[in-house]
Amino acid sequence: MRIVMKFGGTSVRDGSNILHCAKLVKRYSNDNEVVVVVSAMAGVTDSLLNVAEKCCEERSHGHIKLFIADMMKRHYEAVEIAVRNEEMKSKVYSTLSSLFDELEKVLLGISYLGELTNRSRDYILSFGERLLAPIFSACLISLGVNSLALTGGDAGIVTDRNFGRAKPLPKSYNLIRSRIEPLIKINRVVPVVTGFIGSTEDGIITTLGRGGSDLTATLIASAIDADEVWLWKEVDGIMTADPKIVPNARVIPEISYQEAMELSHFGAKILHPKALEPVMRKKIPVRIKNTFNPDVEGTVICESTKSSEDIVKALSLIEKVAIVNVSGAGFDFAEIMAKVFRRLANAKVNVIMVAQSSSELNLSIVVEKSDLPKALDALEDLDEDNVKIDRRDDVAVVSAVGAGMAGTPGVAGRIFSALGREGINVVMISQSCSEFNVSFAVKREEGKRAVRVIHEEFKLSK
């Protein structure tokens, strides 16, 4: 089999975890062609983001040295534990030390300039992955697995110049294939590719958006016609609900691309919302596996699922949202809609869900809470058109997802009757024609209870 495996976050928290993950790769690479994608060590991307912003705001540079020292400590300690071979150890130390040198200079530059552009932010964020890939690769080599560390750009991921949320260009597919295939097929090497980052056509580093290493993995899988993608996480698979909210939630063995996309759009932190696009067309299954419980099957995300009896398959909750309400009377509805959404798009506001009534204009738009100021700003001057804008920032969105909902009458009835019985008031409702999900907003403090009520109503714990 040809498998693209991605490791990230807490799976690669420290040296012993990295060693554990590399041993997993070794185990599967005996009989398979394996490509590894790594993201940064847990928390590193966030720290890089913080330091970048601090450099831009504060003109003093003292904290930069401390930051670099702290990062060095974490990464060098990881090398000590994960890389057993002395020659490899010194090779990887010298790679890391020039990366740290570069990082320190960039941070100093930002602090002298007092300016942080999207482009320089991407450059700084790329260090998390660029530091881990050589460590992971050296660890594999010290375990006797032939390996080579590559950046996203080296691997052929070419993107547009939308720094912070760059989109891979179609030509990436051919490039990736021409660079990765000979390595795995002819040289029998396990490439370790930095997730999350790509490069513009003229070689400038870009990032694919937070959590983007999932997308790196599926992109490569699609380009090399992999048989499967394995996303190694810290959970046994995709669950019927967050077990922190519903203690008897269970793992879903099989879920369709569509259902998984709905879930990740609605806040279930399973995978990057765009990650399934590259593999869907080629019907490459994506497996969610537990790094710390590798023999469990996990969840397979694939073309279609047999279990149409699962009307509602999983529930998700997004707590940090707000509703922007656009209302008024007596004008062209489509005209106002177009204006509103154009403005939100220009302001890069992430719209989560929409509901409207058209008798008179009343458009409710759910956005991330952190996007609320941007959204209100963007819509401010709509006032001249006699439109009223208000907001509610005390809500949460619950989403019930399941392909079996399509064509099954009474699902929405059951959801809302169950909520009614429990005295939970619904603030806003949305269901699209695909009938893959019913989403609704409730008061934030009732969000978790709403999830439990529906989980119980559809007997999701079995």
- Which tokens in the block code for residue 448? 């978790």
Contacting range for ligand ASP; rule: CB under 6 A; set: 38-46, 245-253, 285-293, 352-360 = 38-46
Can residue 196 be called a binding residue for ligand ASP (CB under 6 A)? yes
| Using rule CB under 5 A, residue 216 touches Mg ion | no
Q: How far is CA 104 from CA 42, 47, 151, in A?
A: 20, 14, 20
By CB under 6 A, name the one of 107, 121, 128, 458 that touches ligand ASP.
128
Q: Which position among 8, 152, 156, 298 is part of the footprint of ligand ASP (CB under 6 A)?
A: 8
| β-pair type (299-302, 286-290) | antiparallel
* Whole-Å CA distances, 258 to 13, 252, 263, 324: 31, 14, 9, 27
How far apart are the C-alpha atoms of 383 and 123, rounded to whole Å? 40
Q: Cβ-count burial of 334 within 10 angstroms (0-12 exposed, 13-18 middle, 19+ buried)? A: exposed
User: CB–CB of 13/42 below 8 Å?
Assistant: yes
Helix (H) or strand (E) holding 450, with range, is: helix 447-457
**Residue 458, binding choice from ligand ASP, Mg ion, none, Cβ under 5 to 8 Å by partner class:** none
Nearest to 398 by CA among 444, 456, 451: 451
Residue 191 binds which entry of Mg ion, ligand ASP, none, CB below 5-8 Å type-dependent? none
**126 interacts with ligand ASP by CB under 6 A:** no
Identify the residue among 195, 198, 273, 402 touching ligand ASP (CB under 6 A).
195
Single residue of 84, 119, 210, 452 touching ligand ASP by CB under 6 A: 210
Nearest-approach distance from CB 444 to ligand ASP, in angstroms? 25
Say whether 322 sits in a helix, a strand or coil: strand
Strands (E), 286-384: 286-290, 299-302, 314-328, 351-357, 361-368
196 binds, among ligand ASP, Mg ion, none (CB under 5 to 8 A by kind): ligand ASP
Interaction between residue 447 and ligand ASP (CB under 6 A) = no
**Residue 407 zone, left/alpha/beta (φ > 0; ψ -120 to 50; rest):** left
- Quick check: 168 binds ligand ASP (CB under 6 A)? no
Q: In whole angstroms, how close is the CB of 89 to ligand ASP at the nearest point?
A: 24
**In the complex, minimum distance from the CB of residue 387 to ligand ASP, in angstroms, rounded to a whole number:** 37
Question: Counting contacts by CB under 6 A, is residue 218 touching ligand ASP?
Answer: no
Among 212, 267, 278, 447, binds ligand ASP (CB under 6 A): 212
Token match 């934030």: residue? Answer: 444
**Burial of residue 23, with CB atoms counted within 10 A of its CB: 0-12 exposed, 13-18 middle, 19 or more buried:** middle
Q: Is 39 in the site for Mg ion (CB under 5 A)?
A: yes
* Residues 246 to 305 in contact with ligand ASP, rule: CB under 6 A: none
Using the minimum distance from each CB to ligand ASP, give the nearer residue, 140 or 271.
271
* Residue 123 sits in the site that holds ligand ASP (CB under 6 A): no
**Stretch of 33-41, 170-178, 248-256, 316-324 contacting Mg ion, by CB under 5 A:** 33-41
Are 52 and 117 in contact, with CB atoms under 8 Å apart?
no
Which does residue 210 touch among Mg ion, ligand ASP, none (CB within 5 to 8 A, set by kind)?
Answer: ligand ASP
Catalog residues that contact Mg ion under the rule CB under 5 A. 39-40, 45
Catalog residues that contact ligand ASP under the rule CB under 6 A. 8, 39-40, 45, 128, 195-196, 210-213
